[in-house]
Every structure is written in structure tokens, then in C-alpha cells.
Amino acid sequence: MRYYSILRNYPVKALLPLLATLPLSSFLLLRPAAPEPKYAVSDIPAALREGTHAVLRADDEVVTVKSASRLVHTVHRVITVLDPAGDDFGRHSVGYDALNTITYLRGAVYDANGRQLHQLRAAEIHDQGQGDAGGSFMTDVRVRYADLRQPQTPYTVEFDYEIVSDNTLFYPEWQPQEEEGLAVQAASLRVSTPATLPLRYQERQLPAGTAVAHTTAGSQEVYQWQLANLPAADEEDAAPPLADLTPAVVLAPGTFEVQGHKGTCASWQSLGQWSYELNAGRDQLPPATVAKVAALVKDAPDARTRVQRVYEMLQGSTRYISVQLGLGGWQTFPASAVASSGYGDCKALSNYTKALLAAAGVPAYMALVGAGSDRGDLRVDFPSSQFNHAILCVPLAKGGRPDTLWLECTSQTEAFGYMGSFTGNRHALLLTPDGGKLVATPRYGAAENRRERRIDLFLDAVGGATATARTLRTGQEQDFYAQLLHELGPAEQKKYVTDRLQLPTFTLTKFNLAAKPAGRLPGVVETLGLTLPGFAVPSGKRVFISPNLLSRLPALPAQIGERQAAVWLPRASLHADTVRLHLPAGFRAETLPAAVQLSTAYGTYASHYISLPDGTVQYIRRLELKRGQLPRTAYAGYLDFRRKISTADKAQVVLLKTES
């Protein structure tokens, strides 16, 4: 390349005499050599390509802890996309904010033979703020993303990036096999940390024989893990989330520092202490607000009533926004700021409510929780920051016994004292002056999560029918319908329900969704009117009818191959159905299905039919599902349980025409 560097500054005509004197081999230096092929698809073991949408060729991650307040995370990631179903792996995004800086993001894409097709240019890297898509945000969180998807598969993408983090409360988590349909050819994690800042880690689901390699290099402690040749993981029915099944190493600091605030998460107590002290003294209210609270609760007969009045005041005077501005992700707005502005994030609104309750003479504590209806519980044996939400705990007593209240302070519609599927049935970290205390949020079982349905089904003599259905849902059974009720208009609610009625032919003649009158648990009542033409057309003198219109539980497909995952039953519930079948004149019940009674480790089921004195046929069904996790060997029994329920749910009543 020496000739090229010198000659490129001269006009071509002036160079011709000189070029004629050069040997032919010199001209090869005038043209940069094409990169050598790499990542050819043929180099992937055949076993990793079977039943796979993409193969992770390399996931080499290095975490270098520089100090208690800084770490560097570098990633080299190569994925071969085998078919269009794996196209999502052809793009990649990297988040950053005021405390996390992206040093570089590079990429390239290769064809099936490993020849480079394109190298990512700076102009092709997009940058977008989290709030750009709408919503209520005050955030410095942004995302850089690149899209190297190709019109034809297979192809291979390669991404390299580095993040410098000044937020050591969070260490990266390593889980190379993060999605279904992704095989892993090779992956490695290397962590280097000063001996004075010992690494805390937890290994999860690592293959047998996989062990950390721990060495010392001068003043540095080095930890290394490697994975190789993992076939794609398939999501099985009734299985835990994939994140709970594939290999992972979770990292956490012992000592950390965020913008000058030092702490330790070696225990839940110390982690809670850091968060408590970070927010201490930010619960002072303006005098006018204190006076307003005093007037609000002056005639309240007990502490619970005072809490309820304060909560209703909160819901009527504030709104939620998301605040993620540097330390603002963990440090709350002062209560006085919320009082004047009327808005705040989960921490600010919980802190504000705590201050309001203090003014009402009721002590309360903020609590950190990992929220989400599809989110599992904390890893209670590994103290670390596993939280994304803040709620409020109000310890009360009733009749000498604890009667703790929990408040979701970000919702203007949530029922008083109800956590639901978003924050219920899990652990939270209570923030007290003595530090953090791991406690359980309210548990919702089958007694709370109920769906009770009553249907009256009226047949006519030619096979048509009309029906009225009233369904009461409580507890976690009502969570989604409460969202429909509060977030969508009646027309959208009706469309949603209509689209999901699994009936062959029908017209929805009546629809209403309403909140159940206030009680211990929130509830939603759904009322439907249905016209069902051709519902039960006579066959000669007989009519065959399946009374279970709306509550059939389908069977599960048979397991293909050996079961890998445990049987996961995420929610307990109770479904109770009563159907009254009103017969047309000249018909009587000839045959009623036999009663069914099932009692298993997965739940119980019962159904029976009876002819009532007025000639109607009554069908009663009761299904209780348990919550829990059972060994994978239990799946065959669960399949059988579901198959028997499905069969019973399809049972038919036979009517006989008694008059011509």
C-alpha cells in the first residue's frame, strides 16, 4: 500500500510514464484486498441447524469493573439467520442514558458463504429516545439500533459495541440463549474485577460440567464461563418462561456507587438501607396540603378509613409519569413537588402518599418490587437490584392481628388495597429506617380469582336459540377486563369481546361491561345477549345440544419428544358455571351426560346435569386450577387432566320431540 499512498495525490496522466516502469505485482497494491470469508453457514454443526431459526455463532462478552462507580461492558455478537422466522435477529439495539455511554457500535453482514456483503455505516445507526413513541416520560434513556436484515436467507450479522457505565448498582446479565428458536454454537463471559471489589454471581441452568474458571492476575480477579453447542430451546406448553430454563449467569456488586452515593447489596438489609437513605427527608408537605389532609380525615372512624380517604384523594388529584433521569431512576421527587405539580413517577407518588398518610397519623413504608403480570418472583437468595416499580405498604392491625394494606399509587382507577397480577403473589423489599426487609405482597388464590357465569339458553322448535349470559370476574380474573373497562370505549370493548367469542354463528344483541360494587376484591360484570341461528337443528325427532357455550377448556397437544421443562401452573383460579336450558314446547330431555368428577395435583373438576321440575335442564360446572410448579414427569398426567376436561365440556344433552 506504500505506492498507493504516494501516488494517489498525482494526476493520472502525469503518472503514466512512471506506472509503465513498475512490475505487474505492484498494481495489486493499488486495490485493497477483499476481506477473507468468515462465518460460512457450512461451518455450523448440522445438529445445531435442525429445527432452528438462527444460530448464535459467537457471543463474547467482557465485563471490566474499573472501580466501585464504573464498569465497562464489551460485546461481540455474531448470529446466522437461517430462515425468515429468525429475521428479528438481523437487527440489534443498545440502550444508553446519562449514566451509560456507548463508546462504539459497529456491524457487518455476510452471505451464506461468509463473504462480507455490507459494513454498517454511521449513517445507518438510528438513535431514538424512549419517549419518542409517545406516552408520559421524563427520561434520558435512548436507544441506538441497526438493521442488517437481508431479503434472502441464510445470512450472518455481526455486531460489536462497548458501554461505559457509571451506574454499578446494575451489572450485566449473561444469557446467550434468550429466545425460542436460537441455537448457540459458542458463547463466553469474562469478568475482571479488582480484588478489593469481590464479584457476586449466581449461575442458573448451566449444563452439567460447566464451571467457572477463577484466576488471579495481579490485583485483578478474573472469572470466565463458556457455553458451546446448545440446540435451540422450544417453548413447551404449560412450561415456565424461557428465561427460567436456559443457561445464565447473573452478576451483582458487593459495593457500588451511583453519582457519589455509596452502598452495598451484599444483603437485602443493606440494599434497602441505601435506597431508604437516598430518599430520606424528601417527604415534607406544604402546610396547605397538611391542613387539607387533616380536614379530610377528621371524622374518620378508624385508620383504614383514613387510608382510604387519602388514597381516593391521591387518585383524584395526581397522574403518573415515568421519570428516568440519571439518579432520578432511584431518587424520588420531593413530596412538595408532587403536591404543587400533581404528577410523579411510581417512587414520587408512593413517597407523596406516604407523606399524606403521615399527615393523617398513619405510618407507611415504600417498597420496591419487580412488577409485571408475566414477571416471576425475585431471586430471594441473591440480594441485588431486581426491581422496576415502587408501591406503598401500610401496616395496620385488626382485632389484634396484622391487617396490612398495600397501595398502588400510580393508578387513578385501581381498587383500594388491591395489587392484582401486576404486583401480587411475589416478594417486595420494604424500605425502613433499619434497612430493607423482604416481605410478601398479597397472595391471590382460587378463592379470590373467581369467574362465575350464569347462562339462560332458550331453544326454539326449529333449532335456533337465544341466550343471556352474566359473568362476574373477581381478583386476577378481572384484571384484564378492568383494563378494558377503563381504557377503551364501549364500542371497542364490544368488538374485543365479540372477536373472541368462540361460537359458530351468532349475533351479539346486548353488551355491557361494568365495575362490581366496591367490596373486599374488585370485580367486573359482563352481560351478553346472544342470538344463535341454527344452534341445534333437529335430527329426526332428536336434538343434540352442548350446553357449555362459553367455558370450554381445550385439550393440549401431545408432547413431541421427551418433555424438557417442568409443569408450570402460574395462577390459581376458580370457574363456576350454571347453564339453564329452556326447552321449546313438545320437547323433553331424553339423555343427560353422566356426571364427571376429577381430583388431581393440578386441580379439580366437576360437572353434572339435572332435569328440573319445570322442564328445564340445568348444567353445573366447577373447575379449580392450582398454582405451582411440578416436575416434568407430571406433564403426562396434566395432559390427561386437560383431555378429560375437554371431553366433558363437549358433552351433549339429547332432547326428544314428543309431539308431531
pLDDT class of 560 with cuts at 50, 70, 90: confident
pLDDT digits (tens, 9 = 90+) for 477-523: 999 999 999 999 999 999 999 999 989 899 999 999 999 876 789 99
pLDDT digits (tens, 9 = 90+) for 54-64: 999 999 999 99
Residue in this structure with the C-alpha cell 460489536, named with its chain if needed: 160
pLDDT digits (tens, 9 = 90+) for 172-226: 999 999 899 999 999 999 999 999 999 999 999 999 989 999 999 899 999 999 9
Tell whether 560 and 536 lie within a shared domain.
yes
Pick from 1, 565, 16, 14: nearest CA to 240 = 565
What is the pTM for the complete model shown? 0.89
pLDDT class of 330 with cuts at 50, 70, 90: confident
Pick from 175, 181, 180: nearest CA to 51 = 181
Tell whether 220 and 274 lie within a shared domain.
no
Q: What is the pLDDT of residue 60?
A: 98
* Orientation angle between helical segments 346-359 and 303-317, nearest 10 degrees: 140
d(CA 645, CA 625): 12
Residue in this structure with the C-alpha cell 326428544, named with its chain if needed: 656
Tell whether 517 and 639 lie within a shared domain.
yes
Cα end-to-end distance, the chain, whole Å: 103
Tell whether 401 and 460 lie within a shared domain.
no
Q: What is the pLDDT of residue 374?
A: 85
User: What's the CATH code of the domain at 507?
Assistant: 2.60.120.1130
Q: What is the pLDDT of residue 380?
A: 96
Tell whether 173 and 313 lie within a shared domain.
no
Tally of structural domains, the chain? 4
pLDDT class of 23 with cuts at 50, 70, 90: very low
- Looking at the domain assignment, is residue 552 inside a domain? yes
Q: What is the pLDDT of residue 130?
A: 65
pLDDT of 640 strictly over 60: yes
Pick from 134, 566, 542: nearest CA to 376 = 566
Tell whether 232 and 359 lie within a shared domain.
no
Tell whether 283 and 243 lie within a shared domain.
no
**C-alpha count within 13 angstroms, C-beta hemisphere, residue 372:** 9
pLDDT digits (tens, 9 = 90+) for 73-108: 999 999 999 999 999 999 999 999 889 999 999 999
pLDDT of 7 strictly over 50: no
Mean pLDDT of the chain: 91
- Looking at the domain assignment, is residue 394 inside a domain? yes
d(CA 523, CA 517): 8
Element housing 312 (H / E) = helix 303-317
Of 212, 229, 258, which residue constitutes the final position of a domain?
258
Tell whether 185 and 332 lie within a shared domain.
no
Tell whether 472 and 614 lie within a shared domain.
yes
Q: What is the pLDDT of residue 5?
A: 33
Is 255:199 a contact under the CB 8 Å cutoff? no
How much is the average pLDDT of 644-653?
97
Q: What is the pLDDT of residue 98?
A: 87
Region for residue 480 given its phi and psi (left: phi exceeds 0; alpha: psi -120 to 50; beta: otherwise): alpha
What are 223's three cell numbers? 472469572
pLDDT of 3 strictly over 60: no
Pick from 421, 424, 472: nearest CA to 450 = 472
Q: What is the pLDDT of residue 184?
A: 97
Of 390, 414, 440, which residue constitutes the final position of a domain?
440
Q: What is the pLDDT of residue 476?
A: 96
User: What's the CATH code of the domain at 175?
Assistant: 2.60.40.3140
Q: Spell out where 565-660 has E strands.
A: 567-569, 573-582, 587-591, 596-599, 603-611, 617-625, 628-630, 653-657
Tell whether 427 and 303 lie within a shared domain.
yes
Tell whether 562 and 506 lie within a shared domain.
yes
pLDDT of 29 strictly over 50: no
pLDDT digits (tens, 9 = 90+) for 334-345: 999 999 999 899
- Angstrom CA distances, 117 to 38, 63, 82, 149, stand at 12, 30, 16, 11
Tell whether 63 and 20 lie within a shared domain.
no
What are 166's three cell numbers? 457509571
What are 592's three cell numbers? 343427560
pLDDT digits (tens, 9 = 90+) for 239-253: 999 989 999 999 999
Q: What is the pLDDT of residue 502?
A: 87
What are 301's three cell numbers? 372512624
Cis peptide before 547 (omega within 30 of 0): no
User: What's the CATH code of the domain at 378?
Assistant: 3.10.620.30
d(CA 335, CA 350): 9
Domain residues for 489? 450-657
- Looking at the domain assignment, is residue 445 inside a domain? no
Percent of the chain having pLDDT more than 70? 92
pLDDT class of 327 with cuts at 50, 70, 90: low
pLDDT digits (tens, 9 = 90+) for 420-464: 999 999 999 999 999 999 999 999 999 999 999 999 999 998 899
pLDDT of 1 strictly over 50: no
Q: What is the pLDDT of residue 138?
A: 58
542: helix, strand or coil: strand
pLDDT digits (tens, 9 = 90+) for 365-394: 999 999 998 888 999 999 999 999 999 999
d(CA 118, CA 618): 69
Residue in this structure with the C-alpha cell 448457540, named with its chain if needed: 184
Pick from 243, 183, 165, 233: nearest CA to 57 = 183
- Looking at the domain assignment, is residue 376 inside a domain? yes
Contacts of 510 (CB under 8 A, 6+ apart): 468, 527, 528, 529
Of 258, 293, 311, which residue constitutes the final position of a domain?
258
Contacts of 565 (CB under 8 A, 6+ apart): 236, 239, 240, 245, 632
Contacts of 557 (CB under 8 A, 6+ apart): 237
pLDDT digits (tens, 9 = 90+) for 101-159: 999 999 999 999 999 999 999 999 999 886 543 445 556 788 999 999 999 999 999 99
Q: 611-643: buried (b, 16+ CB within 10 Å) or exposed (e) per residue?
A: eeeeebbebebebbbbbeebeeebbeebbebbe
